[in-house]
């Protein structure tokens, strides 16, 4: 991606950024500590975005804006979903896409370096915040607000230090100070508020540094040098790449021939396999097959980069072998999905199985994209398209609502088999509550046991979350049921293994 020249930020922009970064830190310290995440993450993200854009808006391209919007969209999921594994993926996606938006990058090296660039700037991330403010209050000839501002800053620092010491030494003083100054704050959380301020302000500064670093400086940086192309190495001659690729294809063909029988033979074939029960078959294989498919992408990348294939015959041979390998890999992924489906049929859905499903489907999309790039042997667009596929896949997962999907699949399985793992389903996030509330009355108490205590109705407005609100409505609409015992719940049977 060719970045436009980054004009140096004016002093006004620098000071605006410093003030807005501090505001973002204050917002985080005020509304993100001691409460569940929800709208507060959106407000913090908006505060950080305002600060970053004050110095980065001049150099952003349309692609950068799209990546930034996608990053903010994933951060917004904290007000929609409550599943911890999903939100962990969302926050990583938001951080990586935001970093890539500020840094740029269109090659594989550029995309990887851009997605991680913000982490390399954290060690000096507070400098863009402190430096403009120090310059703002530096003494000058004539009248200046500098002495007043410096004195106020020192006074506030002393008040905080001694106030915290006095509050920790005298409970009565602490109670009066809390009632007068911060009536809704727990002073015991003050260290965490300071940490939240520093983290948000620091990341804001790191994003700004990445955004305002000229492209030519980034190209010569130590980080970029790690990913810089090395000197042209000796490329592999035709036998050196033709034989390995042909051998891999033969192995895949042999595996696929065996799998075709399994894929279409079903339960009867598995039960007739010597020494292998249906449950044992369902338990094994899909992790290994998914790993094999991922390794195929590595093989393709290495082959394209180190094999000598300038001539038309060599290129046709390379295309044919890699294309066949991709097709066979898709069959392998289909086999992995079949095995995973057998596992889920036998033991039900869990979060791990859901995300393995997603990973397999994502691998399939990437491999199809690689095949499309190989048709014309031109793939400059491939890294950014893979980033887009990854972001779109995660967005679909958020819309699908994993915990609600898992609950729905297990309830459907109960209607067919009469088996359900109520203990596991009762540990899902509040995302699943509206679905679980529609379960048969006989097991509803087991499924919803404990959710009342986990859904806090006293949270402040900035901690609002759509899933928690829906869970509270669902719990309120469910007829009260008598307390259930572990024995009562275990009678429903089933295990998620």
Q: Are residues 213 and 64 in the same domain?
A: yes
Residues 6+ positions from 379 with CB-CB distance below 8 Å: 370, 373
Q: Is the pLDDT of residue 177 over 60?
A: yes
pLDDT in tens, 401-416: 999 999 999 998 888 8
| Domain edge (last residue) among 373, 399, 425 | 399
Q: Are residues 155 and 219 in the same domain?
A: yes
CA neighbours within 13 Å on the CB side: how many for 75? 22
Number of separate domains in the chain? 3
**Are the C-beta atoms of 86 and 77 separated by less than 8 Å?**
yes
Q: Is the pLDDT of residue 221 over 50?
A: no
Compute the distance between CA of residue 341 and CA of residue 353 in angstroms, rounded to an integer.
9
Compute the distance between CA of residue 327 and CA of residue 317 in angstroms, rounded to an integer.
15
Q: Is the pLDDT of residue 60 over 80?
A: yes
**Are the C-beta atoms of 100 and 115 separated by less than 8 Å?**
yes
Both tokens of residue 96? 């990586």
Q: Are residues 215 and 113 in the same domain?
A: yes
Q: Are residues 168 and 89 in the same domain?
A: yes
| Domain edge (last residue) among 348, 368, 399 | 399
The pLDDT value recorded for residue 488 is: 54
The pLDDT value recorded for residue 127 is: 79
Q: Are residues 414 and 390 in the same domain?
A: no
**Are the C-beta atoms of 71 and 98 separated by less than 8 Å?**
yes
| Domain edge (last residue) among 226, 260, 293 | 226
Q: Are residues 428 and 320 in the same domain?
A: no
Residue 495 lies in a domain: no
The pLDDT value recorded for residue 459 is: 74
Share above pLDDT 90 across residues of the chain, in percent, rounded to a whole number: 14
Q: Is the pLDDT of residue 479 over 70?
A: no
CA neighbours within 13 Å on the CB side: how many for 115? 17
pLDDT in tens, 258-278: 767 655 555 555 555 544 555
Which DSSP category does 285 fall into?
Answer: S
Query: In terms of DSSP H, where are the helices of 230-285?
Result: 238-272, 278-283
Q: Are residues 380 and 415 in the same domain?
A: no
Alpha carbon separation from 332 to 259, 301, 339 (Å, rounded): 8, 19, 11
Q: Are residues 196 and 127 in the same domain?
A: yes
CA neighbours within 13 Å on the CB side: how many for 294? 10
Alpha carbon separation from 389 to 45, 352, 384, 395 (Å, rounded): 23, 21, 9, 10
The more confidently predicted of residues 5 and 366 is: 366
Residue 339 lies in a domain: yes
Q: Supply the range of the domain harboring residue 275.
A: 238-399
Q: Is the pLDDT of residue 227 over 90?
A: no
Q: Is the pLDDT of residue 76 over 70?
A: yes
Compute the distance between CA of residue 452 and CA of residue 472 in angstroms, rounded to an integer.
8
**Residue 2 pLDDT class (50, 70, 90 cuts):** very low
Residues 6+ positions from 357 with CB-CB distance below 8 Å: 337, 340
Residue 216 lies in a domain: yes
The pLDDT value recorded for residue 34 is: 77
Both tokens of residue 142? 């004539």
Q: Are residues 123 and 178 in the same domain?
A: yes
Both tokens of residue 169? 């030494």
**Are the C-beta atoms of 203 and 125 separated by less than 8 Å?**
yes
Q: Is the pLDDT of residue 350 over 80?
A: yes
Q: Are residues 217 and 248 in the same domain?
A: no
The pLDDT value recorded for residue 401 is: 93
Q: Are residues 316 and 409 in the same domain?
A: no
Q: Are residues 103 and 86 in the same domain?
A: yes
The pLDDT value recorded for residue 156 is: 67
The pLDDT value recorded for residue 187 is: 59
Share above pLDDT 70 across residues of the chain, in percent, rounded to a whole number: 70
Residue 231 lies in a domain: no
**Are the C-beta atoms of 71 and 118 separated by less than 8 Å?**
no
Q: What is the mean pLDDT of residues 346-359?
A: 87
The pLDDT value recorded for residue 122 is: 82
SS3 307: strand
**398-430 burial string, b = 16+ CB within 10 Å, else e?**
beebbbbbbbbbbbebbeeeeebbbbbbbebbb
**Are the C-beta atoms of 86 and 197 separated by less than 8 Å?**
no
Which DSSP category does 236 fall into?
Answer: B
The pLDDT value recorded for residue 164 is: 66
Residue 232 lies in a domain: no
- What are the beta bridge partners of residue 146? none
| Residues, the chain | 497
Q: Is the pLDDT of residue 67 over 70?
A: yes
**Residue 213 pLDDT class (50, 70, 90 cuts):** confident
The pLDDT value recorded for residue 224 is: 43
Q: What is the mean pLDDT of residues 62-87?
A: 90
Residue 233 lies in a domain: no
**Are the C-beta atoms of 54 and 24 separated by less than 8 Å?**
no
The pLDDT value recorded for residue 123 is: 78
**Residue 92 pLDDT class (50, 70, 90 cuts):** very high
CA 122 to chain CA centroid, nearest Å: 19
Q: What is the mean pLDDT of the chain?
A: 76
- For the four alpha carbons of 88, 92, 98 and 101, in that order, the dihedral sign comes to negative
**Residue 220 pLDDT class (50, 70, 90 cuts):** very low
Residue 322 lies in a domain: yes
**Are the C-beta atoms of 326 and 371 separated by less than 8 Å?**
yes
Residue 68 lies in a domain: yes
């Amino acid at each position: 991606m060719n970045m436009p020249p980054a004009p140096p930020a004016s002093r006004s922009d620098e000071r605006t950024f410093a003030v807005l970064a501090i505001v973002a830190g204050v917002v985080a310290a005020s509304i993100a500590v001691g409460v569940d995440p929800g709208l507060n993450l959106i407000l913090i993200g908006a505060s950080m975005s305002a600060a970053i854009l004050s110095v980065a808006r001049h150099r952003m391209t349309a692609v950068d804006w799209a990546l930034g919007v996608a990053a903010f969209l994933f951060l917004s999921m904290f007000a929609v979903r409550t599943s911890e594994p999903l939100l962990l993926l969302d926050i990583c996606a938001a951080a990586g896409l935001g970093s890539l938006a500020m840094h740029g990058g269109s090659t594989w090296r550029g995309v990887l370096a851009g997605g991680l660039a913000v982490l390399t700037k954290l060690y000096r991330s507070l400098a863009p915040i402190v430096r403009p403010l120090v310059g703002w209050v530096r003494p000058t000839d004539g009248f200046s607000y500098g002495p007043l501002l410096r004195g106020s800053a020192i006074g506030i620092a002393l008040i905080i230090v001694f106030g915290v010491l006095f509050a920790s030494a005298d409970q009565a003083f602490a109670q009066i100070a809390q009632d007068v100054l911060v009536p809704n704050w727990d002073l015991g959380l003050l260290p965490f508020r300071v940490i939240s301020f520093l983290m948000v302000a620091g990341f804001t500064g790191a994003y700004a540094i990445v955004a305002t670093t000229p492209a030519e400086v980034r190209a010569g940086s130590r980080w970029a040098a790690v990913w810089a192309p090395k000197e042209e190495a000796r490329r592999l001659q035709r036998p050196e790449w033709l034989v390995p690729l042909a051998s891999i294809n033969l192995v895949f063909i042999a595996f696929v021939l065996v799998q075709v029988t399994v894929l279409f033979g079903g339960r009867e074939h598995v039960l007739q396999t010597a020494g292998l029960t249906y449950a044992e078959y369902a338990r094994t294989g899909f992790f290994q097959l998914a790993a094999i498919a991922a390794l195929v992408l590595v093989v393709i990348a290495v082959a394209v980069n180190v094999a000598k294939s300038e001539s038309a015959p060599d290129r046709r041979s390379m295309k044919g072998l890699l294309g066949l390998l991709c097709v066979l890999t898709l069959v392998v992924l289909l086999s992995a999905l079949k095995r995973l489906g057998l596992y889920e049929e036998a033991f039900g859905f869990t979060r791990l199985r859901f995300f393995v499903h997603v990973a397999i489907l994502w691998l399939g999309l990437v491999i199809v994209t690689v095949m499309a790039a190989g048709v014309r042997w031109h793939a400059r667009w491939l890294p950014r398209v893979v980033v887009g596929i990854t972001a779109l896949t995660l967005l679909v997962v958020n819309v699908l609502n994993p915990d609600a999907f898992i609950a729905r699949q297990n309830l459907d399985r109960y209607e067919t088999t009469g088996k359900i793992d109520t203990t596991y389903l009762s540990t899902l996030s509040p995302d699943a509550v509206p679905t679980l509330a529609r379960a048969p009355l006989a097991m509803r108490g087991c499924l919803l046991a404990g959710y009342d205590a986990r859904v806090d109705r006293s949270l402040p407005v900035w901690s609002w979350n759509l899933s928690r609100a829906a869970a509270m409505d669902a719990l309120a609409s469910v007829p009260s049921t008598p307390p259930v015992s572990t024995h009562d719940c275990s009678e429903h049977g089933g295990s998620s293994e």
